[in-house]
Every structure is written in C-alpha cells, then in structure tokens.
Amino acid sequence: MAKVLVVTSGKGGVGKTTSTAALGAALAQMGQNVAVVDFDVGLRNLDLVMGAERRVVYDVVNVIQGEAKLAQALIRDKRLDNLALLPASQTRDKDALTEDGVARVIDELRQKFDWIICDSPAGIERGATLAMRHADVAVVVTNPEVSSVRDSDRIIGLLDSKTLRAERGERMEKHLLITRYDRIRAERGDMLKTDDVLEILSIPLLGIVPESQDVLRASNIGQPVTVSGPDSPAGRAYAEAARRLKGEALPVSVPGERAGFFGKLFGRRAA
C-alpha cells in the first residue's frame, strides 16, 4: 500500500528540500517506486536540488486545474528510473492549490507509487497545511537550535490536529530528523544535543544528518546526496533513515568525530 510522507519543519532553511530529495532517492535506490512532490508554490526548488530544473514543462497547479495530465507533469529522474518529481508552479501563488485538487492528485499518485513524498513550504499557512493534509507519515526536520525546535513543536501540534488522519482519530506517525548536527559543538556544550531535542519534542528519532560539505556539494551539482556521495556521512545518514522508514530497526549512530580531551578544553576559545 502506498504511503504518503510529508517533510515539514515550520522554520525555513533547515533542510526540508534537501531531505526530501535525499530520502526520495534513497528509497528509490532500495527499489521502491517514489514520487517527490514540491508543495512550495511560487518558490519551487526541489527541481533545482534534483537537477531537473530544465526539464519542467507542467507542474502540480497545471494538473490540479486540468491543464495537464499527471503523467505529463511527472519528471522521471535521469539516474533512478523509479524516482519521479512533480514540480511546483513558479508563477502562481499558493491559493492555486485547492483542497479538492490536492486530494485528487494524491489519490492518483497513490495508484502509481509506493511512496509519495511531499516537500512542505516553510510556515504554517495554507501551503504547509495542504502538504501535510493527506500524510500517513511525517518527517519533522529540525536543526539543533532554539528557533527550529520551537517551530517543530508547533508543527507537531498541527500534525496532530489538522491532518486527515488526526481528524479521523487515527495515529499520525511522526519522526524526527535532525540536520546540520555538529558533534564537536554539541559535545562542547555549544549546541543542543540530540537527547535534548528528543526530550523536548518527544517523537522518535529517524536519523542525524551532520552539517557537511557533501550536502552543499550535492545541491550545487543537482544530485541528491545519497546519489552524489553515498559513502559520505550525510549520504549514509539519509540512506539509513530511509531504511528505518521502511521499518528496519537500525540503531541511530551520531555521525562525526568526537571532540578529544584537548578539543573540549581548548576548542571553546575558537568557537
């Protein structure tokens, strides 16, 4: 049965789009049929991060308004046959997404794919609530930093009240994905630790993605990091997160090197 997954966070710039691309590609690399859907109407970027920006002809708004068929708007990934992208519109505004229209598109996608991954826009407005509306599973992307954690808390509240699942009284599966984690800073006491964030938000941990060059490089060249750097710490973290989404019980490891004794002692001066 198809699963609809929303990648959300409340706060902007924490890594939703990067994570959508990486998790989508990782699931496809495991043989799953995956569609990634950009809900950020007016500010689309998933196409760019996935290297498909020059192949966009139709978008999700065209499909909703009946100007194109779903099959015409879906862009098949060049490297992974079983990965497709449904881009957002760059010219319309978020009001072009209607509740009924989104429901129809999601239903049609459910027929064709194993996973439908919705990349939510930042904020808690219409675009974000529509992106989460049909979700069975949510990945809450959080940076170990106060404003991101606060906004994630708010989004978790919305997931538990504004989604179809919540309204039907069903359980909404939620996972925490910590991104931009810097192990040395956390061990030095200058960054919230994974345990701190977990204790505050109290949803299960899906993975920890380190702050890394590889993630920046991946979006520079338009490839999901699990494709461009499958052996990099970030690529591995996403691949493992995807396996956990599939139900595997893998222990989560903290990526990055430990701060040594002298690092702890003298590192503070540099920070």
Partner 1 sequence: MNIFSIFNRRASAPVARERLQVLLAHERASIGQTDLVAVLREEILAVIAKHVSVEPDNLRIRMERGDQMSTLEVEVDIPKAARVRLALTG
**Smaller CB separation from partner 1, 124 or 245:** 124
Q: Which of 55, 112, 162, 193 binds partner 1 (CB under 8 A)?
A: 193
Q: Does 192 bind partner 1 (CB under 8 A)?
A: yes
Q: How far is the CB of 147 from partner 1 (least distance, A)?
A: 10
Q: Does 190 bind partner 1 (CB under 8 A)?
A: yes
Closest CA to 15 of 216, 246, 173: 216
Q: Which of 176, 191, 208, 209 binds partner 1 (CB under 8 A)?
A: 191
- How is residue 134 written in tokens? 């049909």
Closest CA to 226 of 57, 18, 65: 18
Cα dihedral value 33, 35, 36, 41, nearest 10: 180
Q: Does 55 bind partner 1 (CB under 8 A)?
A: no
Q: Does 168 bind partner 1 (CB under 8 A)?
A: no
**Smaller CB separation from partner 1, 63 or 201:** 201
At residue 240, the 3 state secondary structure works out as: helix
d(CA 220, CA 1): 35
Q: Which of 69, 76, 154, 258 binds partner 1 (CB under 8 A)?
A: 154
Residue 181 phi/psi, 5-degree rounding, is -85, 135
Residues in the site for partner 1, rule: CB under 8 A? 145-146, 149-150, 153-154, 157, 186, 188-193, 196, 200, 265-266, 268-269
